[in-house]
Amino acid sequence: MDRSADAFRTISEVADELNLPQHVLRFWETRFTQIKPLKRGGGRRYYRPDDVELLRAIRHLLYGEGYTIRGVQRILKEQGVKAVIVLVRSGGSPGSMGQDTTPAVAASSGGAHMARVEPSMQTAPIGAADIFSGLSSADLGALQAALAEIDECARILHMARA
């Protein structure tokens, strides 16, 4: 039975719809304050249609456009949730809204962090093209997002040790 477009969704339904593991959605809740599912007894999450659209936009920016978590946080702060959702629905990117999409290196303890990953600007070791040539753009986006999360975790660990 199909649900109404206005119906609330459980985390498993949203994870299936967005083709993401549930733990990624929980992790994103800790990184994006804009994600606020309704929580009922026992901590069960219920996502509103707007929450699902925001998650879809975040997924697109991270996996499709190659932004880091920090880059998406900045875009959401500067452009606003509604503007980002509308932009992603229309197939645009933050650069089309005047957002600087060139790789922005942010100084932080532990090294530089890319705000956007441009595959054409990456320097790869010899032979790396052969390794990545068989991957789909979705797989490459997933790898970029995983690297961004590892980078963010390393930054947090470095700050905790300081």
Reported as a single tens digit per residue, the pLDDT across 101-139 is 433 333 333 433 444 444 433 333 434 444 556 667 777
Q: CATH code at 152?
A: 1.10.1660
Digit-coded pLDDT (tens) for 14-26: 999 999 999 999 9
Q: Which of 19-23, 82-86, 126-130, 142-146 has the highest mean pLDDT?
A: 19-23
Position 134 in a domain: yes
Q: Is 104 exposed, middle or buried (0-12, 13-18, 19+ CB in 10 A)?
A: middle
Position 84 in a domain: yes
Q: Are the beta carbons of 118 and 43 closer than 8 angstroms?
A: no
Position 3 in a domain: no
Position 1 in a domain: no
Q: How many domains does the chain have?
A: 1
Position 33 in a domain: yes
Q: Tokens 């993401």 appear where?
A: 20
- Give the separation between CA 66 and CA 148, rounded to whole angstroms: 9
Q: Structural domain of residue 108, as residue ranges?
A: 9-161
Residue type at 135? L
